[in-house]
């Protein structure tokens, strides 16, 4: 195996792929998905919070309108108050304000500040929450004052809550993130595994390989294809990572308005993600290559590769189940089955608490399986890459390979 | 003596693709590998370029076994053309130079030179798939020969070429040969061989029927040389005296006929003079096709009929 020839083939594969429309489109879609993941909740908020809501408050007991306005300090981005409280004399005046469109909602407080109604054409959750919070604060403040406690401003200073999950408890935030990463892993393993197959069979059916094989050994060709396509995957992930980093950085500088908070996601999740992608890709790439190299036409490749798609899918579904219970014994066993390891063990590492021995053992098993798959694929490849005519399954090719 | 095949056998299951194939390709010659489709030409070529390994026998290039020949020394253009459709032409040719082990600078220089030579220089940045069929063929040849191998093997190089590119290829082969390249061409187009090759191997059903200089092949079949005569006079008498002659035409006491040159030209002339006055007498060398059929017999004619293309 000559490294320079492998590199030449890998470089060509990488360069052609990066230029291809399909790569650019999948990268763009992935980047959009990342942006959406970050911003969709924030965008929803922003749309709702972009304008001022006018709230008519029946000012009885007197001063309640002023107190409410004080308890609603939020501002819209251009600096105007988010909630504009309009004091009115009575319910009739309030209704007139509502009908005339001067107010979006009407609030009337019951006696003793123990109840209140908010009325609007449609009462949104956001508005009801805000008004509710403001009313509570106002009521508590009034009751304290009645008992002689003066509000010096510190009474209502908010408490900052920090979340620290021990392994048993999984925050919904990190579960969402792991789910998103898992979905990505699943899609890219399928995408890149079958891309290896398509690339080999396309090249074979266009008969370029025959000319190539006078200068390159089949094993070198296979290695070049796998390395090249893997590099494409890394470039794509790099691009997505860069997009995510830029968004996250900008968002943090702007005060962390976006909803996804990565502060409590350990770095090992991302390291594990990349590591398991590479392991999974190497395994499935080699298997796809070995299973489909006998196809003479591009159309035949998917049928030959179908069993692998099923395997990837099984790994994905077990991982989905593992999101809730990552250290369940079935999940633990599945994480040690090499074809399932990349996704299932990733989920366990990210959310559960597998022992070091389990993780190292699973990785060792995958590496051994990759070595075996590469060896088998190399043997099949030698025969399959030149076999035209009938559609040759892997079993037939293996027999031919044994015969020489 | 450069490329030597000695008793090479190759079978695929029950199918014998090459049996006891032996021939020698002298250095800087143009060597024609002739035979009908399915005769074993492609299998033989694939063994020379070490895509396939022979079951028995050996292939030596300057005494080195086929699988140890430096990759830079050999160029190969398969019969089934294949290109990376989406690659720019210049990169395509350069890629094949790099794969053959040329360092980057040399690969660039060689690719440029070949594009120039093939009149493809201004299509350097176009994608291969955007080129006409003839130009794609030229990209194919440039990709096969860009590393300037000392042994260049072309499987059916003329199939599908228009007359202009046909001529271009012919010139190019001449140049390569003058530069010392050993050329092996496989073809089933027998007429083509006569003006291109100086050595040939005739293959049918996996066996070599003849291998050697083309002149030797002709000498072996001197009996197939025929004479065409046009005679004025007693045509009936003449036809009766030459029972094995083919009568080509007869009008106004002039007869045209063709007859085998059985050794003695003078005796034939004597016979002719007895019946009339010869107006024309031409010696017709046998065509390659005739020789080929004589060498490989009816067997091959049958094989040529059913176009087997199942060589893996």
DSSP state of B121: G
Question: At B199, which CATH number?
Answer: 3.40.50.300
CB–CB contact A215 B52 (8 Å):
no
DSSP state of A81: B
**Who among B76, B78, B95 is closest to A207 (CB)?**
B78
A394 assigned to some structural domain: yes
Whether chain A has a CB inside 8 Å of the CB on B53: the answer is yes
- A118: containing domain: 53-146
CB–CB contact A16 B87 (8 Å):
yes
Residues A81 and A33 in one domain: no
Chain A residue closest in CA terms to B87: A16
Whether chain A has a CB inside 8 Å of the CB on B87: the answer is yes
Classified as helix, coil or strand, B120 is: coil
In terms of Cα–Cα distance, which of B227, B212, B171, B101 is closest to A220? Answer: B101
Question: At A67, which CATH number?
Answer: 3.40.190.10
CB–CB contact A207 B310 (8 Å):
no
CA of A42 vs chain B CAs: smallest distance (Å): 42
In this structure, chain A runs to a length of 404
Could you give the CA distance from residue B93 to residue A379 in angstroms, rounded to a whole number? 29
Q: List the pLDDT tens digit at each of the 312 positions of chain B.
A: 589 999 999 988 778 888 899 999 998 899 999 888 778 888 899 899 888 889 999 999 998 998 888 888 899 998 887 899 889 999 999 999 999 989 999 999 999 999 998 889 999 999 999 998 888 888 999 999 999 999 999 988 888 788 888 888 888 999 999 999 999 999 877 777 877 888 999 888 888 888 899 888 888 887 788 888 888 888 788 888 887 788 888 887 788 888 887 667 777 888 888 888 888 888 888 877 788 888 777 554 554 444 444 444
Residues of A in contact with B83 (CB under 8 A): 206, 208
Residues B112 and B147 in one domain: yes
B294 assigned to some structural domain: no
CA of B296 vs chain A CAs: smallest distance (Å): 28
Domain total of chain A:
2
- B259: containing domain: 226-284
Could you give the CA distance from residue B184 to residue B26 in angstroms, rounded to a whole number? 10
Whether chain B has a CB inside 8 Å of the CB on A115: the answer is no
CB–CB contact A216 B99 (8 Å):
yes
Q: Within 13 Å of residue B97, how many CA atoms lie on the same side as its CB? A: 25
Whether the pTM exceeds 0.90: the reply is no
Alpha-helical segments (H) within chain B = 41-48, 89-99, 104-117, 133-145, 163-178, 190-196, 214-220, 235-241, 265-275, 288-305
> What do you get for the CA distance between the two ends of chain B, in Å?
30
Residues A319 and A393 in one domain: yes
Domain boundary among B213, B234, B265: B213
B182 assigned to some structural domain: yes
Residues A180 and A329 in one domain: yes
Whether chain A has a CB inside 8 Å of the CB on B158: the answer is no
Could you give the CA distance from residue B12 to residue A248 in angstroms, rounded to a whole number? 61
Whether chain A has a CB inside 8 Å of the CB on B82: the answer is yes
A235 assigned to some structural domain: yes
Residues B32 and B120 in one domain: yes
Q: Which residue has the tokens 């201004």?
A: B122
Residues B198 and B260 in one domain: no
Q: Within 13 Å of residue B159, how many CA atoms lie on the same side as its CB? A: 15
Question: At B236, which CATH number?
Answer: 3.30.70
Residues A282 and A176 in one domain: yes
Classified as helix, coil or strand, B221 is: coil
């Amino acid at each position: 195996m000559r490294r320079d020839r492998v590199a030449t083939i890998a470089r060509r594969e990488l360069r052609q792929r990066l230029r291809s429309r399909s790569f650019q489109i999948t990268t763009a879609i992935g980047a959009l998905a990342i942006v959406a993941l970050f911003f969709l909740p924030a965008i929803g908020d922003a749309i709702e919070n972009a304008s001022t809501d006018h709230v008519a408050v029946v000012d009885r007991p007197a001063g309640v309108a002023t107190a409410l306005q004080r308890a609603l300090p939020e501002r819209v981005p251009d600096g105007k108050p988010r909630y504009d409280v309009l004091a009115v004399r009575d319910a009739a005046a309030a209704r007139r304000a509502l009908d005339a469109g001067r107010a979006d909602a009407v609030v009337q407080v019951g006696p003793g500040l123990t109840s209140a109604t908010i009325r609007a054409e449609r009462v949104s959750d956001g508005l009801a929450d805000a008004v509710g919070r403001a009313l509570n604060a106002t009521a508590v403040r009034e009751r304290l004052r009645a008992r002689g406690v003066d509000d010096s401003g510190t009474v209502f200073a908010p408490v900052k809550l920090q979340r620290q999950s021990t392994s048993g408890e999984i925050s919904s935030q990190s579960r969402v993130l792991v789910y998103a990463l898992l979905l990505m892993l699943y899609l890219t393993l399928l995408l890149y595994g079958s891309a290896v197959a398509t690339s080999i069979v396309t090249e074979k059916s266009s008969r370029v390989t025959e000319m190539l094989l006078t200068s390159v050994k089949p094993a070198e060709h296979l290695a070049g294809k796998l390395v090249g396509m893997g590099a494409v995957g890394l470039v794509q992930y790099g691009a997505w990572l860069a997009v995510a980093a830029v968004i996250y950085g900008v968002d943090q500088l702007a005060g962390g308005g976006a909803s996804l908070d990565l502060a409590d996601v350990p770095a090992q999740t991302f390291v594990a993600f990349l590591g398991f992608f590479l392991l999974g890709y190497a395994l499935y790439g080699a298997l796809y290559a070995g299973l489909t190299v006998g196809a003479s036409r591009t159309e035949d490749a998917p049928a030959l590769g179908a069993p692998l798609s099923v395997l990837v899918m099984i790994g994905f579904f077990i991982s989905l189940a593992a999101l809730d219970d990552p250290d369940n014994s079935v999940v633990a066993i599945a994480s040690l089955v090499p074809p399932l390891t990349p996704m299932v063990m990733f989920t366990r590492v990210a959310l559960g608490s597998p022992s070091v021995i389990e993780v190292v053992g699973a990785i060792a098993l995958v590496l051994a399986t990759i070595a075996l798959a590469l060896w088998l694929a190399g043997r099949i490849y030698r025969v399959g890459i030149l076999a035209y005519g009938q559609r040759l399954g892997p079993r037939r090719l293996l027999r031919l390979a044994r015969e020489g | 003596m450069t490329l030597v095949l000695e008793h090479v056998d190759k079978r695929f299951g029950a199918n014998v693709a090459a049996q006891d194939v032996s021939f020698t390709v002298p250095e800087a010659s143009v060597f024609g590998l002739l035979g009908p489709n399915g005769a074993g030409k492609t299998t033989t070529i694939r063994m020379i370029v070490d895509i396939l390994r022979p079951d028995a026998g050996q292939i030596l290039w300057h005494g080195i076994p086929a699988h140890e020949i430096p990759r830079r020394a050999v160029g190969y253009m398969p019969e089934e053309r294949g290109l990376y459709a989406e690659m720019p032409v210049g990169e395509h040719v350069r890629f094949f130079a790099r794969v053959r082990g040329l360092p980057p600078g040399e690969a660039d220089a060689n690719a440029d030179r070949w594009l120039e030579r093939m009149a493809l220089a201004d299509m350097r940045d176009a994608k291969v798939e955007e080129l006409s069929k003839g130009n794609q063929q030229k990209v194919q040849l440039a990709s096969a020969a860009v590393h300037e191998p000392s042994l260049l093997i072309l499987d059916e190089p003329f199939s599908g070429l228009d007359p202009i590119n046909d001529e271009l290829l012919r010139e190019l082969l001449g140049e390569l040969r003058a530069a010392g390249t050993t050329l092996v061409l496989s073809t089933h187009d027998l007429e083509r061989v006569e003006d291109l090759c100086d050595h040939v191997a005739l293959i049918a059903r996996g066996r070599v029927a003849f291998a050697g200089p083309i002149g030797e092949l002709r000498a072996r079949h001197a009996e197939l040389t025929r004479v065409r005569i046009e005679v004025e006079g007693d045509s009936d008498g003449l036809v009766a005296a030459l029972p094995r002659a083919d009568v080509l035409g007869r009008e106004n006491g002039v007869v045209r006929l063709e007859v085998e040159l059985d050794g003695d030209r003078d005796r034939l002339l004597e016979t002719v003079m007895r019946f009339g006055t010869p107006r024309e007498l031409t010696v017709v060398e046998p065509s390659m096709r005739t020789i080929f059929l004589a060498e490989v017999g009816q067997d091959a004619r049958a094989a040529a009929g059913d176009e087997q293309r199942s060589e893996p």
